[in-house]
């Protein structure tokens, strides 16, 4: 009888201990579940809407562009004789660097070659080679409510000098000239990020400048519309989201 009481007591102790352990595990599981739900409910907004390729703020890009511009230029003539202008006068080539100040804003530095031309004049005979380089600095803004995380329309504006240079070879010597004029560029485009490190863009805009003090291949102003495509390599680690900082 005494042994039976001892056995019943041991069974009660074991049952109670097992019940206590199970209750503790249930409480811990519920606590973890609550923490998980709480963490999900306070996820930073920028993580919820971030690009599939990660944040761009703090990253840089180097790009090359190719395009065409309108022939909206002022013809001034070369004096007496017959003038003929040929070459890729509507072609534009460009190289640029950009840094993302934040997700929707970049600082841009660019250098574009406009209107490489060859001119020929008869009476007296001469041959000239001319080119225009635009060295511009500006901003590119991506409106946050337009497009998708991977397809981003933008507006851009920049200012800087337009530098014209020419070499004229005559029968009695060679003349070199360099002229500088202030100007800028205003435009819009679309960036398509198809890889974390690469962006393809389509852009259009207007190049504006004041007149050169001297003519180049019969012109002293190379303002006009421009359209082109751009391919860029994106590099750098980038900045963590502000809400993710400790």
**Arithmetic mean of pLDDT, 143-147:** 87
Query: Residue 121: its pLDDT value, please?
Result: 53
Kindly report, residue by residue over 147-161, the tens digit of the pLDDT: 888 999 999 999 999
Kindly report, residue by residue over 97-114, the tens digit of the pLDDT: 999 999 999 999 999 988
> Taking Cα atoms as reference points, which of 239, 231, 242, 240 lies closest to residue 61?
231
Q: Which one is predicted more confidently, 36 or 189?
A: 189
Q: Contact at 8 Å (CB) between 143 and 155? A: yes
Residue 84 token pair: 């003929």
**134: enclosing H helix or E strand:** strand 126-141
This model's pTM is above 0.75: no
Q: Would you put residue 37 in left (φ > 0), alpha (ψ -120 to 50) or beta? A: alpha
């Amino acid at each position: 009888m005494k042994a039976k009481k001892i056995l019943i007591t041991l069974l009660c102790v074991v049952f109670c201990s097992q019940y206590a352990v199970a209750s503790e595990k249930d409480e811990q599981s519920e606590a973890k579940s609550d923490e998980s739900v709480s963490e999900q409910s306070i996820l930073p907004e920028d993580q919820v809407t971030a690009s599939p390729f990660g944040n761009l703020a703090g990253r840089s890009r180097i790009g090359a562009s190719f395009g065409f511009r309108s022939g909206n230029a002022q013809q001034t003539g070369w004096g007496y004789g017959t003038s003929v202008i040929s070459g890729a006068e509507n072609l534009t080539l460009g190289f640029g660097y950009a840094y993302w100040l934040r997700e929707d804003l970049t600082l841009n530095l660019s250098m574009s070659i406009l209107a490489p031309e060859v001119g020929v004049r008869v009476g007296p005979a001469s041959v000239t080679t001319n080119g225009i380089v635009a060295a511009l600095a500006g901003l590119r803004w991506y409106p946050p409510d337009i497009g998708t995380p991977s397809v981003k329309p933008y507006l851009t504006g920049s200012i800087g000098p337009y530098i014209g240079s020419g070499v004229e070879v005559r029968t009695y010597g060679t003349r070199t000239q360099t002229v500088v004029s202030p100007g800028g560029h205003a435009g819009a485009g679309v960036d398509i990020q198809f890889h974390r490190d690469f962006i393809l863009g389509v852009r259009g805009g207007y190049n504006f400048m004041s007149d050169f003090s001297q003519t180049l291949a019969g012109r002293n102003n190379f303002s006009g519309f421009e359209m082109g495509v751009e391919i860029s390599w994106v590099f750098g680690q980038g900045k963590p989201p502000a809400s993710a900082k400790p």
